Structures are given as structure tokens and as C-alpha cells.
């Protein structure tokens, strides 16, 4: 356990807990004073005694000596009022809507997030999703679980959109810490899963509308000082705009900045580890080298065929593109391996293997149809269903582990997530494979009637791509059990607590998924005059994150393989508890990435399906830098809570550092990997305090 010493800080917040309310204050954040707390040093697994107390919050790693700050929390219901900014798209109109937030200690271990409205349908699904994610991030920022508090948000009139989620996260923090909110302060920006603030639209109009109603301190997302006006498309300097109207505009990096803007108080900041401390250890590097050789051998089995295809003519463009990508990934993998960047090398080699499988399998089907041998193509289509048996075997292998250390628990979560990826792809590939089988079977029954190559490629491409990706990811799920080394403290999880964690993530992910569907699926269905289910079907094939989020967000109620495993392993087993946690965390992270990609960043794709531009490029760069820093801060927190940095965090971080130097698509992958690095570290902390 730790030694407690009081920090000689300025504000005596520890003795002045009061219920919500608002106050008038001066300044937008630079004059903020540090909240007082107690600095402690913890032994591994020693944070529970403080972190699970309803009147205490533990912020890990607030100095570079691994000290942590314990803050007082209100032990009663507290309230905070914030004003959510809005803009009428395509016009010059903007303003704000009051939102009342409240928090109170929750001792029954259930998820309790309430959303209240004055009229039926007054709050839209995007706004409701923002409330859930805001509550989740606010709790995590203070080292608490979503189930430790009851959260509520109420709004008058009609309100929708996620751009108030950063504001509400800051407001929930103010309520939990009983800090009065300045009624002249507000902000706009989405909340990302690591607590950073993402870009939004219509900021100039929002600011002008807020200033007209008395706001003086206005927050905008990091990297968005110059924002496009909705009315005429001109770029506006937000700092100058505010200054010209007697107000100030403040750049907001993360949820802590949001809290500081609203309350003029500063939370203790986690200190990131150095980049050198994120390096992999020698044992893990050796295990990754062995893995690299295994994958090289598998790739080598198809590589000669790939090279032959590369010299052939009259190939469909999709095959030609896959051949080139496979070769590029293999070359990059060899280069990274030679540089000693083992984790990223394995990832790129696995990608090369996938593209090789896809190119050779697609060619086999195309060649069979060209040669009027529909039976051969039919056999390949039917073989997709064999993935289900392979997947079951991998899940059983992971579920059979009896983890005795915290690292082993994380190892299972990571392997389960990779297997769940593959399972989601298998479900879709199998269904599409059945349709393809029907098409080819009909051609064969008709006496060898020809199937057009373009028609064939269009029909088989989604299923085959997902099926081959499932093959690779199932293999990787097993390989992770060998190269994710386990050097950590002895630990046995509390299954009820793991289930509560799982429910927290699942609740947030369902809200995020509902928002994404409202923002894209429903409008597109109306635009093209088709049903929502048809649009969802196309989106499932085109966007892997959407597919994965769908199949993992309701794992506990899913039929088929999940139900079979739950019955076989037992609802009270460690395997099922950790698989549920893995699924809900995966659903949360993928739904968050969908929102960031399609809403916050405004990603557009090229003809090859890769992202080639973002609307908010400056904000994207700064968001990437913030995510990198957050990953190192989360790593320090995990090291304090558990005694070591999770190898999964280090691997994701290493991959992200490599990918951030690539094109737009690579940078998006880097952002997701930095978030993943933080997520694994946060999971380690959550397991330690539970």
C-alpha cells in the first residue's frame, strides 16, 4: 500500500464540497487553480482500497516518480448545469440549450445512466449516445467504473448530435467533484474514447450565438482554431472572432481541459512515460521473431503462386491490386524486421499473408468459371462455412486457459478480441457464401451456363475478403498466446466485477452504434429509396468496424457460437466472463472509431477503398498527437496499478508509431492503435481496482 502525504496546493477543494450550481468567474482556464489532494505511492494491486471508496477518486501517475493523487468526491447527489451549443446547418443561426446533469454514488453495481426530456423524442439518438460516452469517460478519468455512479442528463426542447459530448463529460466531472460551473463558459467538441476532444462543424455560428446570449469563455477542439463557417464556407479565426466580440476562445485538448474551462479548476494531470519506456522487452522480441518465422512459412506456401499471378495478363483489377499490396506489405515487413521493430513487422507480414490468400483464392474462383468449371468455384464458396469449426476450436483453446496472473487475463482478452473479429467476419462470409453457392449451383444446373466475371467478382469479393481475413485473424489469435509474454503479478479476477465492467462497455457501445446508424444508415436509406436493412447489409460488407461492432455489442444475447460457448463453459466461468469483456470493449472501441471517422474527421475514400483525405486535417494531426500522449499516460497508470505495462499496450503503441508516418489511411490506423494502446492499459487498471 502507499504512504499518504498532503500536497501543499492552492485550493482547499477537499473541504468545500457543495452541490452543483453555477458561479461567475473570470478567465477561460489560464487562471485555473489546482485541486488539492493527497499524493500516494501504490504497490501493484494496491489501488483498490482507495479507488473503490465512493468518496474518493484516484488519478494514477500524476508525477514522474509514479505518485498518484487521491481526490475527494461528493458522497451525495450533486448537480451541474451546462449549455450545449447548436447550429442550424446551412444557415448563420446558432445558440445553446441548457442541460442539467447530476451524479450520485451507486452502490448496487448496476449501470445507471438516465436521460430525461421534456417531450417525447426531445433528445435524438446521437445526443443520447453522447451522454453515455461522456459518463463513461468522466468516470474513467477519475479512476472509477461507470457502475460506481448514477448519471443523469436532462434537456428541454429538441436536441441532437454528438458535439456536446465533450461539454457533458466536463460537466459530469464538475458534478462528481462538486465544482461550481461558470455560467459564462461553454464549449463544443466530441469526446473520444481516450478522453481527447474531436472536431465538429459549425463552430463560428455556435460561438456567435452563444456570445449573443452572454457567454464569455468558449472552448473549441484542439486544432480547430480556424474553422469553416456554415453560411458561406469561409475559414474563421475563432480566437479573433471571440476577441472581436468581447469574449475569449480556448483550445480544448481533452476532458480535463473541458473541466478546467467550466470550473476554472485544474485536475492533476497524468504524466506520460517516455517513448523509450514503451519499448518491448527482449523476451517478447524473441517470441515475436519466432512468430515472424511461422508466418513467413505460411506466406511462403502461396508466394510462388502469387508471383506467377503477377506475371499473368487479363486479371480483374481487384486481383492485381491485391498482388501489389501483398508485395508491398511483405517488403515493409522485412524492412521493419531488419530494424528490430518486431511487433509492426509481424502485423505487416500478416497483412501480406491476407492479401496473398485473397489474390490466389479469387483467381482460383475466376479461373474455374472462365474454364466452365463451376463445380470448382462452388467448392471454394462452400468451403467458407468450414471457418465456423476452426473458430470454435480457437475459442475453446483460449477459454480453456486458467489465468493465474493479471497478464494472463489480458492475454485472454486480447486473443478473444482477435477471435471475435474473425467470428464476425465468418458469420457474414458464410451467409454471402451461401448466396454465391446458389448463383454458381444454378449455373451448373443450367448445363454450364456462363457466369460473367464482373458479376462473379462483385458477388464473391465481400465474402472472400472477410473469409480470408478470418483465416488470418484466427491464426493470429492463437499466435498471440505465445508472443504476448506474461510477466506480471499473481491475480484472480472477480467474475461479478468483470461482468459489471463488461456491461459498462456494452452500454456505451450500443449507444455509439445507434448514433452511427442514425447519422448514416437512415439518411442514406431515405436518399436512395431503399430499406434500412439493405443499407446495413451493404455497410456490413464495406466497413469491417461496423460489422465487428454489430456482432460484439450484444454478445450475451447472441445465438449460435456465443450461446454454445456460454453453455459449454458455464455462465460463471472465467473464460466466458473475459470473452464478454473482450467483446464489449471491442464493440465500444469500434463504434467510437466509426464516429470519429465518419463524423468528427469527415473521411473520404479513394477508388481503392482506402481513406485518402479528411475534412479537418489540422485537427486530425493534433488529435493523433494527443492520442499518442494519452497512450503513454495510460501506460504509466497501468504500471502503477499492476506493476508492469501490458505487452498489448506496447505492441499497439509500436504499430501506431510506425503507421502515423504513412498516408491518411495509415494515420487513421495509427489513431485507432493509439486508442487501443490506451484501452488495454485502462483495462489493466480496471481489473486491478476490481
C-alpha cell at 365: 474462383
Dist CA 502 CA 496 (whole Å): 10
Centroid of chain to Cα 293: 31
| 502 Cβ contact partners less than 8 Å away, ≥ 6 residues apart | 577, 580, 581, 583, 584, 585
Q: What is the pLDDT of residues 100-113, one digit of tens each?
A: 999 999 988 888 99
More confident residue, 221 or 30: 221
Dist CA 66 CA 635 (whole Å): 11
- Please say whether the beta carbons of 634 and 620 come within 8 A: no
More confident residue, 21 or 442: 442
Confidence at residue 448, expressed as pLDDT on a 0 to 100 scale: 47
pLDDT of 545 over the 50 cut: yes
Of the ranges 210-219, 389-398, 607-616, 655-664, which one carries the lowest mean pLDDT score?
607-616
Among 104, 55, 101, 70, CA closest to 1 = 70
pLDDT of 6 over the 50 cut: no
Confidence at residue 378, expressed as pLDDT on a 0 to 100 scale: 55
Topology (CATH level 3) of domain 78-266? Ribosomal Protein S5; domain 2 (3.30.230)
Dist CA 626 CA 154 (whole Å): 31
DSSP string over 661-672: TS-HHHHHHHHH
Helix (H, G, I), strand (E, B) or coil at 361: helix
Beta bridge partners of 4: none
Domain extents for the chain?
78-266, 277-281+372-689
Confidence at residue 672, expressed as pLDDT on a 0 to 100 scale: 93
- Please say whether the beta carbons of 112 and 151 come within 8 A: yes
Confidence at residue 13, expressed as pLDDT on a 0 to 100 scale: 28
Among 50, 159, 54, CA closest to 100 = 159
| 557 Cβ contact partners less than 8 Å away, ≥ 6 residues apart | none
Mean pLDDT score of the chain, rounded to an integer? Answer: 86
Helix (H, G, I), strand (E, B) or coil at 85: strand
pTM: 0.88
Q: What is the pLDDT of residues 282-322, one digit of tens each?
A: 999 999 999 999 999 999 999 999 999 988 777 888 889 99
Of the ranges 7-21, 249-263, 426-440, 596-610, which one carries the lowest mean pLDDT score?
7-21
Confidence at residue 436, expressed as pLDDT on a 0 to 100 scale: 64
| 412 Cβ contact partners less than 8 Å away, ≥ 6 residues apart | 398, 401, 403, 575, 578, 579, 582
Q: At what angle do helices 342-370 and 647-659 cross, to 10 degrees?
A: 70
Amino acid at each position: 500500500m502507499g504512504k499518504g502525504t498532503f500536497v501543499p496546493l492552492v485550493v482547499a477543494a477537499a473541504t468545500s464540497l457543495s452541490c452543483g450550481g453555477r458561479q461567475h468567474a473570470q478567465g477561460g482556464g489560464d487562471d485555473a487553480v489546482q485541486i488539492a489532494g493527497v499524493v500516494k505511492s501504490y504497490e501493484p494491486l494496491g489501488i483498490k482500497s482507495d479507488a473503490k471508496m465512493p468518496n474518493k477518486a484516484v488519478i494514477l501517475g500524476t508525477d514522474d516518480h509514479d505518485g498518484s493523487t487521491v481526490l475527494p468526491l461528493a458522497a451525495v447527489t450533486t448537480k451541474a448545469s451546462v449549455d450545449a451549443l447548436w447550429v442550424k446547418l446551412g444557415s448563420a443561426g446558432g445558440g445553446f440549450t441548457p442541460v442539467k446533469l447530476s451524479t450520485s454514488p451507486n452502490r448496487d453495481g448496476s449501470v445507471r445512466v438516465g436521460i430525461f426530456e421534456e417531450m417525447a423524442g426531445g433528445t435524438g439518438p446521437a445526443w443520447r449516445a453522447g451522454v453515455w460516452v461522456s459518463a463513461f469517460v468522466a468516470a474513467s478519468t477519475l479512476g472509477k467504473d461507470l457502475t460506481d455512479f448514477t448519471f443523469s442528463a436532462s434537456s428541454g426542447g429538441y436536441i441532437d448530435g454528438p458535439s456536446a459530448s465533450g461539454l457533458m463529460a466536463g460537466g459530469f466531472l464538475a458534478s462528481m467533484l462538486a465544482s461550481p460551473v461558470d455560467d459564462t463558459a461553454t464549449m463544443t467538441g466530441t469526446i473520444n474514447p481516450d478522453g481527447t476532444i474531436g472536431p465538429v462543424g459549425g463552430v463560428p455560428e455556435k460561438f456567435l450565438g452563444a456570445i449573443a446570449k452572454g457567454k464569455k469563455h468558449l472552448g473549441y477542439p484542439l486544432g480547430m482554431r480556424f474553422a469553416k463557417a456554415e453560411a458561406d464556407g469561409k475559414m474563421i479565426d475563432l480566437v479573433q472572432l471571440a476577441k472581436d466580440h468581447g469574449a475569449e476562445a480556448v483550445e480544448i485538448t481533452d476532458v480535463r481541459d473541458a473541466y478546467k474551462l467550466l470550473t476554472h479548476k485544474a485536475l492533476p494531470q497524468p504524466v506520460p512515460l517516455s517513448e523509450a519506456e514503451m519499448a518491448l522487452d527482449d523476451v517478447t522480441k524473441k517470441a515475436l521473431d519466432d512468430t515472424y518465422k511461422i508466418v513467413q512459412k505460411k506466406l511462403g506456401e502461396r508466394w510462388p503462386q502469387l508471383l506467377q499471378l503477377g506475371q499473368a495478363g487479363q486479371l480483374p483489377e481487384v486481383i492485381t491490386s491485391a498482388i501489389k499490396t501483398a508485395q508491398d506489405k511483405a517488403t515493409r515487413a522485412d524492412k521493419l524486421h531488419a530494424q528490430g521493430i518486431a511487433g509492426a513487422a509481424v502485423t505487416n507480414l500478416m497483412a501480406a499473408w491476407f492479401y496473398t490468400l485473397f489474390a490466389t483464392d479469387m483467381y482460383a474462383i475466376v479461373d474455374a468459371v472462365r474454364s466452365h468449371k463451376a463445380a470448382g468455384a462452388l467448392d471454394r464458396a462452400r468451403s467458407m462455412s468450414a471457418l465456423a469449426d476452426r473458430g470454435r476450436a480457437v475459442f475453446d483453446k483460449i477459454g480453456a486457459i486458467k489465468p493465474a496472473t493479471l497478464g494472463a487475463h489480458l492475454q485472454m482478452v486480447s486473443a478473444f478480441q482477435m477471435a471475435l473479429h474473425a467470428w464476425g467476419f465468418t458469420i457474414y462470409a458464410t451467409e454471402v457464401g451461401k448466396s454465391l453457392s446458389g448463383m454458381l449451383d444454378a449455373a451448373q444446373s443450367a448445363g454450364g451456363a456462363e457466369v460473367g466475371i464482373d458479376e462473379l467478382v462483385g458477388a464473391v469479393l465481400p465474402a472472400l475478403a472477410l473469409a480470408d481475413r478470418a483465416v488470418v485473424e484466427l491464426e493470429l489469435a492463437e499466435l498471440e498466446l505465445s508472443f504476448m509474454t506474461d510477466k506480471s503479478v499473481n491475480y484472480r479476477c472477480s467474475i461479478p466485477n468483470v461482468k459489471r465492467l463488461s456491461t459498462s462497455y456494452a452500454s456505451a457501445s450500443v449507444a455509439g452504434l445507434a448514433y452511427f446508424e442514425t447519422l448514416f444508415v437512415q439518411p442514406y436509406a431515405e436518399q436512395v429509396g431503399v430499406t434500412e436493412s439493405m443499407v446495413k447489409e451493404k455497410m456490413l460488407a464495406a466497413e469491417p468496424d461496423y460489422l465487428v461492432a454489430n456482432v460484439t455489442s450484444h454478445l450475451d444475447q447472441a445465438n449460435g457460437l456465443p450461446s454454445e460457448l456460454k453453455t459449454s463453459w458455464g455462465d460463471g466461468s472465467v473464460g466466458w466472463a473475459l470473452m464478454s469483456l473482450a467483446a464489449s470493449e471491442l464493440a465500444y472501441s469500434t463504434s467510437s472509431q466509426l464516429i470519429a471517422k465518419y463524423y468528427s474527421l469527415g473521411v473520404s475514400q479513394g477508388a481503392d477503398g482506402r481513406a485518402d483525405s479528411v475534412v479537418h486535417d489540422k485537427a486530425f494531426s493534433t488529435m493523433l498527437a494527443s492520442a499518442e500522449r494519452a497512450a503513454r499516460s495510460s501506460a504509466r497508470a497501468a504500471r502503477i496499478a499492476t506493476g508492469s505495462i501490458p505487452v498489448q499496450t506496447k505492441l499497439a503503441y509500436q504499430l501506431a508509431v510506425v503507421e502515423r508516418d504513412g498516408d491518411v489511411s495509415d494515420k487513421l490506423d495509427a489513431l485507432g492503435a493509439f486508442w487501443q494502446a490506451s484501452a488495454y492499459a485502462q483495462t489493466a487498471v480496471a481489473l486491478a481496482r476490481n
